[in-house]
Structure 1
Amino acid sequence: MGGQISLESTLGKGSTFRVDLPLPAVDGHVDTTVAEAVASGGPSLRLLLLEDDLTVAAVITGLLEAQGHQIDHVPNGLRALQAMESQNYDAALVDLDLPGVDGFKWARLVRSREQDGEHLPMVAITARSGGDEETRAREAGMDGFLRKPLHGQQLAKALAAAIRPPQLA
């Protein structure tokens, strides 16, 4: 990818890994009201992250925490349903390829349980390339869609679009 990885390590203290990637600039306009509130300076969001890969979860969590959000990471759909029983979330980021109940089934299940006036904003995240994943994710009830690898600006933009009140959409 044309990047660079470096390591600094001190015995008994720990290690710091740095990954620098020359990512292309993001095209398109980012909504300056909702996206800025999501990305920085706005209220902290409580987000549910469904991701079975611990490395990917750590990266996404780091990107979102850098924007000031609180993240609850769960590795599968059943744990996510349990988390939702004890915590209200502003949005969920959902990997499509979860063990057991995949992201498509999970989204349908959540949508079937929602009462009138309830709507959990959901953004699908996948490493799948091509195909009809986005269409299927939206049909399952997802409000947004991202492909891995991703960066903070993409997450902020997708969350802003997903949580935008319907009258602003």
Structure 2
Amino acid sequence: MRVLILDDDEELGGLMQPVLAKYGMDLSLAFTPSQAFEQLDRQAFDALLLDMMLPELDGMSVCRTIRASGKPYAQISILALTARAELTDRIVALESGIDDFVAKPVEMRELVARIGAVVRRHRDNREPPPPVPEPQVHSGLSLSPTHMSAVYGTFEINLTELELRILQPLSEAGGAILSRAEILERIGYDTQSDPGMIDTIIYRVRQKFRDQGLKTDFIKTLRGQGYCIRAE
């Protein structure tokens, strides 16, 4: 497995190289975004370890540039190396195309596990999904992946990709309760991911419907259990 690290800490990559080599990972180093793009243009990598605080461009801008590039590396697995742990920052990063996070200082066993999980998830996602009728209607909620929207009754909102992904398993559950861990698993994240992400996204979806005038919450919270969608 080929991995590229973009971090201006020149010692960090050197420390990582022999450890990752033991797990069959060949680590290449870049210290500036321009160096990283040169390497991405020259050869294929399975994953990019991306520091969030960089010269030239910040990590979020690097990620957006990669995803919008239209080049073969646009779909590379990206893991953010960050000391910033705020949930809002992580959600914005996920919606910008980052796949997962590894906190600094880096714990190598966790890093290896997360690289493997993200690369596997990307490979699985390349398999064409079975055709799904458009739109998907469950429990009074209609989701349109094509239009990135949700309709409940006479109320319609626009969705981000992450909001859509989280609503889909809830809408398909037929009113059954899904824990936050179950939702994370169904959208492709491991159980070590922050479950608070689910709470924040659901709060945001509810607020979007409230802003449109919907007075009731059809996404129900079951304390200590999880969430479900139930029509009134």
Shared fold (TM-score, shorter chain, > 0.5) = yes
1:46 is matched with: 2
- Identical aligned pairs, as a percentage? 26
2:77 and 2:118 in contact (8 A); partners too:
yes
Q: Give the TM-score taking structure 2 as reference length.
A: 0.49
Amino acid at match of 1:72: S
2:114 is matched with: 158
Distance 2:72 2:85 in 1: 35
4+ residue segments displaced more than 6 Å: none
2:26 is matched with: 70
2:82 is matched with: 126
1:131: Cα distance to partner? Answer: 5.3
Distance 1:148 1:115 in 2: 30
Distance 1:117 1:102 in 2: 19
2:49 is matched with: 93
1:93: Cα distance to partner? Answer: 0.6
Whose radius of gyration is greater, 1 or 2?
2
Amino acid at match of 1:101: L
Distance 1:113 1:149 in 2: 30
Where in structure 2 are there 5+ consecutive unaligned residues?
128-185, 189-232
Distance 1:140 1:61 in 2: 28
1:135 is matched with: 91
Where in structure 1 are there 5+ consecutive unaligned residues?
1-44
With a CA cutoff of 8 Å and minimum separation of 6, indicate the structure with the bigger relative contact order. 1
